[in-house]
Amino acid sequence: MKTLGLLVTGLLIGAAGYLWLYGPKTVSTGTEINQALAQAAGAPEHASVVSAEDPPPVSSTAAIPARTPASPVAPTAEASHEAPAPAPATTSTPGSEGTLLLPVQGLSRTDLHDTFTDARSEGRVHDAIDIMAAAGTPVLAVADGTVEKLFDSKRGGLTIYQFEPSGRYAYYYAHLQRYAEGLAEKQPIKRGQVIGYVGSTGNANAEAPHLHFAIFRLGPERHWWEGEALNPYPVLHDGQPL
């Protein structure tokens, strides 16, 4: 019996060797081996086992990580800067720098009255406006310019004729109580400079001191005593350009 058992064992070993040498060969991949191992370990059949040799599959529908919204950028000072409001209308004159001031210190536009076309004695028209103020109130140059003439007339009393720099316009101040100290003909004067004081000289009513103010468009001769009278009221009150 012992001899028979050894014979059977030898035959089986020989048959196995024959099959190994001449039989079909099947090579298992790393994936198959891993699947077999997983099944042997009791893993579900649909479980995906990835070997070190097999890279993970790339899905075209893989979720893309959500991008964190960019924080809002605060507007810069330049971007948030609003355009400045338009500058208020000013009373300007061609050929002169700056604006025309009210020629009587301490008054506002609401204190003005249009007396340009008022009748005067001997059939005359006023051709100026009267600005009422207390005697001695400072009279100011309405713009830069030059004192062209200081004149004492029967009607206007103590007067000043001022030419603006271009020589196109003359500003006329009348019924002055007195001139500012040191004022002289051909003297340059600045806008806002005190040039005299309100009074009632000439044919003005002593009980109603005022400044008689006129604007003249000069001719090519640039004569201080003649020119086309322009209404000062819309220029001083409304800011209308000459």
Which residue in 152, 140, 177, 162 sits closest to 214, CA to CA?
Answer: 162
Cα dihedral 227, 177, 240, 169 sign: positive
Q: What is the CA radius of gyration of the chain?
A: 54
Q: Classify burial at 193, counting beta carbons within 10 Å of its beta carbon; exposed 0-12, middle 13-18, buried 19 or more.
A: middle
Write out the residue range of the structural domain in which residue 145 sits.
109-237
CATH number at residue 179: 2.70.70.10
- Angle CA 113–114–118, to nearest 5: 120
- The total number of structural domains that make up the chain: 1
Determine, yes or no, domain membership for 3: no
Residue 138 lies in a domain: yes
Q: Is residue 24 a part of any domain in this protein? A: no
Whole-number pLDDT of residue 26: 45
Between the CA of residue 101 and those of 146, 154, 224, 232, what are the distances in Å? Answer: 16, 27, 21, 11
**Does the residue 175 lie in any domain?**
yes
Could you tell me if residue 30 is inside a domain? Answer: no
Q: Is residue 23 part of a domain?
A: no
Q: Give the single-character DSSP code of 125.
A: B
Q: If the chain, 242 residues long, is cut into consecutive pieces of 10 residues, what is the mean pLDDT of each piece?
A: 57 56 48 45 39 39 42 42 38 49 95 87 81 98 97 96 94 98 97 97 95 95 92 89 76
Residue 242 lies inside a defined structural domain of this protein: no
How does the average pLDDT of the chain come out, rounded? 74
Residue 190 located in a structural domain: yes
Q: Is the dihedral of CA 77, 78, 79, 82 positive or negative?
A: positive
In this prediction the pTM is: 0.60
Pairwise CA distance, residues 202 & 120, whole Å: 14
